Amino acid sequence: MKKTIKKPIVTFIPFTRPTIDEATIRAVADVLRSGWITTGPNVKALEKSLSEYVGGREVRTFTSATGALEVALQVCNIGPGDEVLVPAMTFAATANVVLRVGAKPVFVDVELATRNFDIAKAESAITKRTKAIMPVHFAGLPVNMDALYKLAKRKNLRVIEDAAHAIGSAWKGKRIGSFGDLVCFSFHPNKNITTIEGGAIALANADEARRVDVLRFHGQQRDAAGNIDYVEAGGKYNLTDVAACVGVGQLRQLEKFNSRRRTLAMRYFEKLHTTPAMLLPVHGDAGHSWHMFAPLLPLDKINITRDEFIRAMAARGIGVGLHYPALHLFTLYRRMGNKRGDFPHAEQIGDSTVTLPLFPAMRMSDVDRVCRACAEILAAARKR
């Protein structure tokens, strides 16, 4: 009889995966049994905990960071005829919300090393129509906050921080969201904590927080007796108690999650050595929350495309993401006159970036496996 040789089972490593503990799962079941599953006590509890986390500032939750960003623009009274500076390297939502309020997103190139807003280039893009700057703390690495807010103060501009990647990040020991103007977080499943889908705004101004309450729920106001009036054409972005219950459990573990992410990122720096070399992200300090680990492929030195690299990694049981294509080159923004060559750093990043697995449940051996796979694929594809 011919002997069958069993191949070892290779566990697939996704590029990200949320970590939800059993206590949170049980708490969600309790919410579902309670009969109160939409906005209620768990939303209040999450907003209170988030406020405490960012030093007591006003915090309001949303069904998404996208909704939070759009309402932040409305709170700043930004609309038709206005311009908002947006990095050319970010997720589409950052610019889309500017269009949705009737304003114009004006793209600014990013620094190649940090992937963050180039403050010097931002200043040169300011016109008399510019009303706000919307920086992104890319992959959890904070923008130079001193330079950002110095520029905003000098030019009398609002700042709406897209901190979708940056819950738990810090600038000079101060948590992102604990200072500054309006700061918007994401709790999507691939972020450092999740509410399944969701987001939040941290605000410095109590009056603006009250306006957020109106804008995120139909433009509705209630008086002390509970009588309803509608004062603005608001949207509907209120978080459910089920989602908030997940968030409460997640927030308790955020520091542990981020500590693990930093440890895994340091392992990448230690082990990810390829020939030809990938361009690694900036190392950062303890204030980097490491939402992602996204090196750049040396495409000019290998004879495979990025798509082929991603397929080769998948064949080895490793998921790779792509964060992000250059924003100004999407059809929507080409229609506005943007073209290749306008923002070289964003284009280089967009053409060659790959997002390697990074999430708290990863083992060191998983990182080592990813690093070995990268090294093997790039060595085999090296141009001779």
DSSP 8-state symbol, 382: B
CB atoms within 10 A of CB 270: 12
At 313, list the tokens.
């990694």
Dist CA 300 CA 383 (whole Å): 9
CA 3 to chain centre: 51
> What crossing angle do the helices spanning 364-381 and 306-315 adopt, rounded to 10°?
130
Beta bridge partners of 98: none
Q: Which amino acid is residue 270, in one-letter code?
A: E
Gap between the terminal Cα atoms of the chain: 47
Residues serving a catalytic function are 191
- Give the contacts of 63 (CB within 8 A, at least 6 positions apart): 197, 198, 199, 236, 237, 238, 239, 243
CA distance 83 to 95: 11
3-state secondary structure of 334: helix
Report residue 336 as tokens. 């506005």
Closest CA to 175 of 157, 195, 192, 151: 192
- How is residue 287 written in tokens? 């204030």
